[in-house]
Amino acid sequence: MSSYPSTDDCYRIMREEGLSLAVIRHCCVVNLVAMAIARRCGADLELVNAASLLHDIGRSATHGVNHVAESVLIARKRGLPEELVNCIGRHIASGFTAEEAEALGLPRGDYMPVSLEDKVVNFADNLVSDRSIKTVAQAAERMRSKGFELTATRMLAMGEDIARLCGQDIDSLLERAKVREAVAGCDRLA
């Protein structure tokens, strides 16, 4: 039996925490992308499922960069497993070093993705803008247009590592998995 919350439990947690429908739908799309990647590269599916659904639970308190710290606080308050808490805490941008996090006003810590599951959830979140799935190139360009060159470079390197593990480039993987077609299911959430 898994120690990670089920899909239904994750949606219940999001509602209990007061997430807006828009954020819940975003998390649903991130989950579609993350699970397609996780299945192909051999990541822990239960961990990726829960982390990709709950990564933005802190957006019930704030939509700024500090939502990642809020997400970690909520996950810990709920007694979620530490591997899940860590994955949630490492989903921001393409990760932040301890120094970068401090400069942004985040609580002390290293926000760099470490495990394969951290990287899958982080990368999936970077590919999803609201509920729209971007190509890897589009996601990198979006970051660069906001002045986040280092984040874009890290994201591209992470994507190359994940693609190697998957044995396939991520854009092709998502196309074959028909992930974009599945997004309509997230729009039906109420």
Cα angle, residue 30 at apex, residues 24 and 35 outer, rounded to 5°: 125
The phi-psi region of residue 97 (left if phi > 0; otherwise alpha if psi is between -120 and 50; otherwise beta) is beta
Per-residue model confidence as pLDDT tens digits over 42-94: 999 999 999 999 999 998 887 776 788 899 999 999 999 999 999 999 887 76
pLDDT computed for residue 175 by the predictor: 92
Q: How many CB atoms lie within 10 A of CB 79?
A: 7
Q: Quick one: pLDDT at residue 190?
A: 61
Domains of the chain: 7-187 (1.10.3210)
Q: Residue 101's pLDDT is what?
A: 67
Global pTM value: 0.93
Q: Is 129 exposed, middle or buried (0-12, 13-18, 19+ CB in 10 A)?
A: middle
pLDDT beneath 50: ranges in the chain: 1
Q: What CA–CA distance (Å, rounded) separates 68 from 45?
A: 22
> How far is residue 37 from each of residues 52, 92, 106, measured CA to CA in Å?
12, 18, 29
pLDDT value for 71:
94
Give the span between the Cα atoms of 125 and 91, in whole angstroms: 7
Q: For residue 185, which phi and psi values (nearest 5 degrees)?
A: -65, -35
